[in-house]
Amino acid sequence: MTEDTRDAVLVAQGLNKSFGGLQAATDLSVSARRGEIHAVIGPNGAGKTTFVHMLSGFLRPDSGKIEFQGHDITDLSPAARVRRGLARSFQITSVFREFTVLENVVLPVQSRQGHSFRFWRPALNDPTLLEPARALLEEVGLGDRADAVAGHLAHGEQRQLEIAIALATRPSFLLLDEPMAGMGPDENRALIDFLGELKTDRGMLLVEHDLDAVFALADRITVLVYGRVVVSGSPDEIRKDAQVRNAYLGETQM
């Protein structure tokens, strides 16, 4: 399977990863383009989260190469990748539960502004942190919840905050690991719309179980099964692909 790597921002080439005897990624190659949503789907255990961990630097591939904006980032730490503009969200909600909503987004804003070896001035009196943080919360629809403690938010709001934290680093490319996880249909609808608006100015790699969301949003889709790319193509091509129907979509009505 060859991928068209022209205009690609994020390119994974031949990634392999195994845990003990379990092969979680085999010769995995995916390339995602600027201004597009590239969805990665697959049944449970297909290695989707492992893939996101490798792209974001939390897992090191056994072999293979990851390029971002033309640079080899395979050996960079997670933090260094974020500073280059590659941010991620988490499947399991990973907000700072004891912090207020505002503090949750102040931290990434602070990270964007350079090092944090500043010991004396209170961070929460600093308008250069608070203004962008508040603006971002307005943007994602959490403006009126700024002072709530994150751990007390409803599940849907926590999912919004999850994405807001990633967005606050001003990424040029966003890795979203199952943003819809555990959300109701109404909340889903709103989030799909929101993600659709986001894609105009950045690239996105979307790992998702919810196929409605995937087909509503994705420009390209890659199907993973047991850590391998089964097929990659436009939503129409994927819909028609017999291999995909058998391997994965099976009984799902399309």
Partner 1 sequence: MTRRLTPAGTVTALVLALCAAVPYLAPALDEPFYVIVFARIMIWAIAAVSLNLIMGYGGMISFGHAVYLGIGGYAVGILGFHDVTSAWVQLPVAIGLSAVVALVFGVICLRTRGIYFIMITLALAQMVYFLSVSAERYGSDDGLNILWRSDFGTRLFDLEDSVVMYYTIFAVLLGCLLVKWRIVMSRFGMVLRASSSNDTRVQAVGVPTFRYRLVAFVIAGVMCGLAGFLQANLERFVSPDMMNWHRSGELILMTVLGGTSTLFGPVVGAVVFLMLSEILSTITIHWHLVFGPFLVLVVLFARGGVMGLLGSRARHD
Partner 2 sequence: MDYVLLVEQLLNGFQLGIILFLMAAGLTLVFGIMDLVNLAHGSLFMIGAFVGGTLALATDSFVLGAVLMVPAMFVIGVLLETIALRTLYRRSHLDQVLATFGLILFFNEATRLIWGPEGLVIPLPDFLEGTVALGAGITYPLYRVVIIGVGLLVALGLYLLVAKTRFGMLVRAGASNRTMAGALGVNIPALFTLVFGIGAVLAGLAGLIITPITQAAIGMGEDVLILAFVVIVIGGIGSVRGAFIAAVLTGVIDTMGRSFLDLLLLLVLPANAAEAAGPALASMLIYILMAGILFFRPQGLFPPRGATVIQ
Q: Which residues bind partner 2 (CB under 8 A)?
A: 19-20, 53, 58-59, 92
Closer of 94 and 172 to partner 2 (Cβ) = 94
Find which of partner 2, partner 1, none residue 53 binds, CB within 5 to 8 Å per kind: partner 2
At closest approach, how far in Å is the CB of 240 from partner 1?
Answer: 37
Q: Does 169 bind partner 1 (CB under 8 A)?
A: yes
At closest approach, how far in Å is the CB of 20 from partner 2?
Answer: 6
Closer of 41 and 59 to partner 2 (Cβ) = 59
Q: Does 10 bind partner 1 (CB under 8 A)?
A: no
Please give the residues from 55 up to 94 whose contact with partner 1 meets the rule CB under 8 A: 56, 58, 77-80, 82-83, 87-88, 90, 94
Segment contacting partner 1 by CB under 8 A, of 60-68, 101-109, 152-160, 240-248: 101-109
Distance CA 172, CA 244 (A): 31
Find which of partner 1, partner 2, none residue 124 binds, CB within 5 to 8 Å per kind: partner 1
Neighbours of 156 (CB within 10 A): 16
Distance CA 207, CA 211 (A): 10
At closest approach, how far in Å is the CB of 72 from partner 2?
Answer: 23
* Secondary structure (3-state) at 8: strand
Distance CA 16, CA 63 (A): 5
Find which of partner 1, partner 2, none residue 69 binds, CB within 5 to 8 Å per kind: none
Contacts of 158 (CB under 8 A, 6+ apart): 93, 95, 150
Distance CA 109, CA 191 (A): 22
Segment contacting partner 1 by CB under 8 A, of 29-37, 109-117, 207-215, 227-235: 109-117
Neighbours of 169 (CB within 10 A): 19
Contacts of 30 (CB under 8 A, 6+ apart): 3, 11, 12, 38, 40, 51, 205, 222, 229, 232
